[in-house]
Structure 1
Amino acid sequence: MIFKQLFDQTSGTYTYLLADEDSRQALLIDSVFEQYERDLSLIRELELNLLACLETHCHADHV
């Protein structure tokens, strides 16, 4: 299991990246729109396949 916690200083919120090491399939949880380049860069760096972006609660800055 791959787990990354990413902090957005501006909004004070966390984004989480979860992935299976074998299948390389990943989920992005509570992503911040302004951080999409950071998130995509990490996904590419780790050679993951993004399956979905999930929201656990509403924020105006989440994707």
Structure 2
Amino acid sequence: MYVRGRGTARSDRQAAGTTLTRAPGTVRFLHDLVEELKATGFVADSLRRSGRSESLAAPPG
């Protein structure tokens, strides 16, 4: 994930992804999982626990 001005997945060593040529269900599952992790605060909490700013997390949606 990349949010302009907030760093990149590479610099924060966190990423999730797949190719768009995967089965639509696979892409949908990954998208829904990442959105759930952001919406529940899991991503922000993980960043906080690792000493990073939770503002690095892209917002849900």
What TM-score, normalized by structure 2, do the two folds share?
A: 0.36
Q: Which has the higher strand share?
A: 1
Structure showing the higher helix proportion among its residues: 2
Larger Rg: 2
